[in-house]
Amino acid sequence: MGAATAAVGLPDGPGSGAHRVGAAAAPRLRLEEVYDAHVDFVWRSARRMGVPQEAVDDVVQEVFLVVHRRLDDFEGRSSVKTWLFGILLRVVSDHRRRHRRKGGLAPLPEALAAEPDRSCPAEQLERRTQLELLHALLMGLDDDKRAVFVLAELEQLTAPEIADALGIKLNTVYSRLRAARKEFEEALARHRAREARR
Amino acid sequence: MSHEDMDELSPAARALIDDVRDLDGPGPADRARVKRALVAAVASGATVAASSAASSAAAAAGTGALATGGVSLGVKLGVAALLAAAVGGTALVVTQPAEEPAPRAEHRPARARFAEPAPVPAPEAPALEPAPAPAEALEDTPIAGAPVEASVVEAPAAPDAPSPALEPTPRVRRVPATPEEVAAVDSTLSEELVLLREAQRAMQADQPAVALSHLDAHARRFPSGILEEEREAARVLALCRAERVDEARALARRFLAERPRSPHRARVHAACP
C-alpha cells in the first residue's frame, strides 16, 4: 500500500508534508488509489471515533463518495490522510445526528456487534476485550479531544498534521492532547482499579 | 507527535494502545465489499439527494449531491445491480435491484458527476441485459472537471435542534450498473464479470460442471478479485446443483464462518439443506 502510494505521488502520513501535490505537475489523485491506500485508515478511524461496527460500511462508503466528488479539492493540501480525516469527522457527525434524530439508535455493545461465528482462541479473545476497552476509553473523551488523541497516539501524526486535519491551531492541538491524555489515563486507572477489586 | 512538547502516555496506556491498534481495521472481505459498493455506486451514478440544506443548495445549483442522507441505500442499490450483473438473477440475486423500493416516492435526479442521465430501465428489466450506457471511467480516467460541492463537507456543524431542512429524507434515483458500465469503469472488474457471467449462463443451462469450471477459472485468475465473494457463493450453489453435496456444505460452512456480513449468506445457507 505504501509503495503504491509513493508510486503515484500521493503524500501520505508523517514526513510527507514537504511533498505537495502541485496544481498541474503532479498526477491527479484517483479514487481507487486513494481507496486502496487509505481504506484501512478511514475504517479504523471511523471505529475509533465511535462508529459502531454495523454502521462502519456505510460511513466508509460515504467518506469515499465525498472523496470521489472532491478529488480536485485536494490540490495543494499536504496530506491525503489529514484531508480524509477531516471528511470522516463530518460524515461521522452527520451520521450520528441522523441516528439521534431517528430516535437514538444506540450502538450495539461490541459483544453483540462482533462477528458472530468467528472462533476466538483465548489470546485473541483477550485482545478483543482490550480493544473494546480502548474504544470505551476513547468514547469517554469528548469529540474534540478524541480526534486529537486518536491522531496523535494511535496514528502517530505530528502536531502540525493534526492541526491541518482538524483545522485548529497548533496550540490547541497541544492543549487538547494534554487534556485528552490526562482523561484517558485517569479512566484507564479507574478501570484497572475496578478490575483489581473483582 | 512532538513529544518533547507534551507529556508522554504512561507505559500502561501505551501498551494497551500498541497491543490492539492493529485490530480495528477492515479485513480483506471488508475492504473488497466496501470497494465493490463504491465502484458500483460510482458506476451506477447511485444518485441520492441529500438530507441537508446544503445539499439542497447544491442540487439547486445543478451540481447534485451525493450526500449522506441516502448514500448507503444508493450504494446498496448499486451493489445489488452489480451483483445481479455478476451472478445473475437465477443464480444468486439476493436483492433484485429494480424491485428495491425507494424510500420516498419523490425521485430527484441529483447527479454527482454524470452529466448524461443513463436510461432507466423498466422495473422488470434484468440488470443482466446489456444496455447502452454512458461510460464513466472511475479508475482509468483522472478525475477532472469542476469540483462538486459536497454537502457533507460543506455543511456547517448543524445544531442539534431538528429543523425541517435537516430531516433525513433520502431520495434515490438509481441507474443500474450494467456490465458495460462496469466494464468501462474497470477492465479488471469486467474480466471478472465475464467469467462469472459465463458461470451463471451455465447454471441457467443446468450445466453446473461447466459453471464450476468457469468459477475455477475465475479463482485461478483472480484469487482475491473484487468478486471473490460472489464467486464463492456461486460455487456453493453450483456444487449443490452438481449434487456434490458434501463439498457444497463444507464450502457453505466456511463461507458463513468467514464472511459474517456477506449479503449472500441467506442464499448460501439455504443452498444445500
At residue B8, the pLDDT reads 84
Residues of B within 8 A of A115 (CB-CB) are 260-261
Task: Give the residue, A115 or A186, on which the prediction is more confident.
Answer: A186
Does residue A20 share a domain with residue A70? yes
Residue A115 within any structural domain of the chain:
no
Minimum-distance CB partner of A65 among B71, B139, B155: B71
What top-level class would CATH report for the domain B186-271? Answer: mainly alpha
Residue A114 within any structural domain of the chain:
no
Mean pLDDT of chain A: 78
User: Domains in chain A: how many in total?
Assistant: 2
Strongest mean pLDDT among A10-19, B25-34, B256-265 = B25-34
Residue A71 within any structural domain of the chain:
yes
At residue A156, the pLDDT reads 92
Does residue A86 share a domain with residue A15? yes
The Cα–Cα gap between A38 and B100 comes to: 31
Q: Model confidence over B142-170: pLDDT tens digits?
A: 333 333 333 333 333 334 433 333 333 33
Does residue A93 share a domain with residue A9? yes
Does residue A58 share a domain with residue A136? no
Q: Which of B93-107, B224-238, B255-269 has the lowest mean pLDDT?
A: B93-107
Residue A41 in grid coordinates: 485508515
Residue A5 within any structural domain of the chain:
yes
Query: How far from chain centre, in Å, is Cα A40?
Result: 9
Mean pLDDT of chain B: 59
Residues of A within 8 A of B31 (CB-CB) are 39-40
At residue A88, the pLDDT reads 96
Residue B49, strand partner residues: B171
Residue B84 in grid coordinates: 445481479
From B247, B250, B252, select the one nearest B268 (Cα to Cα). B252
Residues 6+ apart with CB under 8 A from B215: B195, B196, B199, B231, B234, B235, B238
Residue A131 within any structural domain of the chain:
yes
Domain definitions of chain B by residue range: 28-182, 186-271
A76: pLDDT confidence band, cut at 50, 70 and 90?
A: low
Residues of A within 8 A of B41 (CB-CB) are 61, 65
At residue B44, the pLDDT reads 62
Task: Give the residue, A16 or A190, on which the prediction is more confident.
Answer: A190
Residues of A within 8 A of B17 (CB-CB) are 134, 153-154
| Mean pLDDT computed over A94-99 | 84
Q: Tell which of A76, A108, A140 closes a domain.
A: A108
**Is it the case that residue A70 has pLDDT exceeding 80?**
yes
Q: Packing angle between helix A56-70 and helix A31-48, nearest 10 degrees?
A: 140
**Is it the case that residue A60 has pLDDT exceeding 60?**
yes
Q: Model confidence over A126-148: pLDDT tens digits?
A: 888 899 999 999 999 999 999 99
The verdict on B4 touching A (C-beta cutoff 8 Å) is no
A120: pLDDT confidence band, cut at 50, 70 and 90?
A: low
Does residue A182 share a domain with residue A143? yes
At residue A90, the pLDDT reads 93
| Domain harbouring A80, CATH code | 1.10.1740.10
At residue B188, the pLDDT reads 66
Does residue A138 share a domain with residue A94? no
Does residue A48 share a domain with residue A84? yes
Q: What burial class does residue A116 get, using C-beta atoms within 10 Å of its C-beta: 0-12 exposed, 13-18 middle, 19+ buried?
A: exposed
Residue A144 within any structural domain of the chain:
yes
Q: Model confidence over B88-129: pLDDT tens digits?
A: 333 333 333 333 333 433 333 333 333 333 344 434 333 333
Q: Model confidence over A150-174: pLDDT tens digits?
A: 999 999 999 999 999 999 999 999 9
Q: Tell which of A108, A131, A146 closes a domain.
A: A108
Residue A17 within any structural domain of the chain:
yes
| Domain harbouring A138, CATH code | 1.10.10.10
The verdict on B69 touching A (C-beta cutoff 8 Å) is yes
Structural domain that includes position A93 = 1-108
Does residue A148 share a domain with residue A74? no
A48: pLDDT confidence band, cut at 50, 70 and 90?
A: very high
Name the minimum distance, in Å, from the CA of A184 to any CA of chain B: 8
Q: Which of A65-79, A124-138, B17-31 has the lowest mean pLDDT?
A: A65-79
The Cα–Cα gap between A26 and B41 comes to: 27
At residue B224, the pLDDT reads 78
